[in-house]
Amino acid sequence: MALMLRHGLSSIRKLTQRLAGPVGIPKTAGLPAPLAHESRRWSWSRRTEYQYFGNRRPALSLSNPNALRVLAGLGGGGLVVYVVAQQEVPYTERRHAILISQAAERELGRQTYRQVLEEARAEGSLVPSHHPATKRVQRVGSQIAAAVNRGQGGGFQDHMQGLEWQFAVIDSPQVNAFVVPGGKVVVYTGLLGLVSSDDELAAVLAHECAHVLARHAAERMTQGGVVSVIQMIAYWGFGIPLPSDLLVPAFFLPNSRKAETEADIIGIQVGGLVGR
């Protein structure tokens, strides 16, 4: 099964490159984007500069001896929190900081999944649960989910306890699939039309389920919070605006690619457990 999944993963790799970010949430109108860093707080007040919460002078200055003490305190406290929040990713042994609670992570997934299905149902594009396409995805997905839930691979897996996996199919030409926290997976018929076997479909679903196991969504939200804190300190402390348009590509894109590669690695390992 592992060899077949590797072959399936290789043959559909070009298809999954279009997934949007570490959790692959498509840019659906009206869909909340809690996994993307918020940039709407920035506004133009002049042609040559950004303003953050209006015109304010920096509260700190490097010429002020108290400024260094404040920065040292913030930096030291932040470092302690970052270290304490470290978790190990199963199978890869990579360590990352997670500052999002498991309850909040699951609630976010439930809300996002519910909204996606409601929009699809309103548009008449939600494929019924009794349809062969949905049954196929649920059958293959259940096998992958069972393998993920076996607890192998070491690392932090507390968030997998009591996870309720759900799989849905949306009728759309998009060649896409995505997962949200809590084990909610959506597959588009455009992708199903291009996977010629259950092994290829299993490779796609194993990749998506791997994102949940690795808590990539929670990691991305944590990173977004860190960037926001850096922006606030830079502006309020020193009057230095750090636009999100500059920070997000530099900070998130490399991590996004890393998450996709990690999901591939974990997906292959998980796929090898199916049928054992």
Q: Where does 93-215 show beta strands of DSSP type E?
A: 95-97, 166-170, 177-180, 184-188
Query: What is the per-residue pLDDT for 75?
Result: 67
Query: What is the per-residue pLDDT for 266?
Result: 98
Between the alpha carbon of residue 93 and those of residues 112, 208, 219, the distances in Å are: 29, 19, 15
C-alpha–C-alpha distance, residues 259 and 210, integer Å: 10
Element (H, E) at 268: helix 244-271
Query: What is the per-residue pLDDT for 55?
Result: 52
C-alpha–C-alpha distance, residues 122 and 269, integer Å: 38
Among the options 105, 200, 208, 262, which is catalytic? 208
Query: What is the per-residue pLDDT for 62?
Result: 56
Q: How many CB atoms lie within 10 A of CB 41?
A: 13
Three-state SS at 45? strand
Query: What is the per-residue pLDDT for 94?
Result: 96
Query: Active site includes 208?
Result: yes
C-alpha–C-alpha distance, residues 229 and 86, integer Å: 18
- Widest distance between CA atoms in the chain: 69
pLDDT tens for the 276 residues of the chain, in order: 544 444 444 544 444 444 333 344 444 434 444 443 333 333 333 333 434 444 555 555 555 666 667 666 766 777 777 778 899 999 999 999 999 999 999 999 999 999 999 999 999 999 999 999 999 999 999 999 999 999 999 999 999 999 999 999 999 999 999 999 999 999 999 999 999 899 999 999 999 999 999 999 999 999 888 888 788 777 776 777 888 777 777 777 778 889 999 999 999 999 999 876
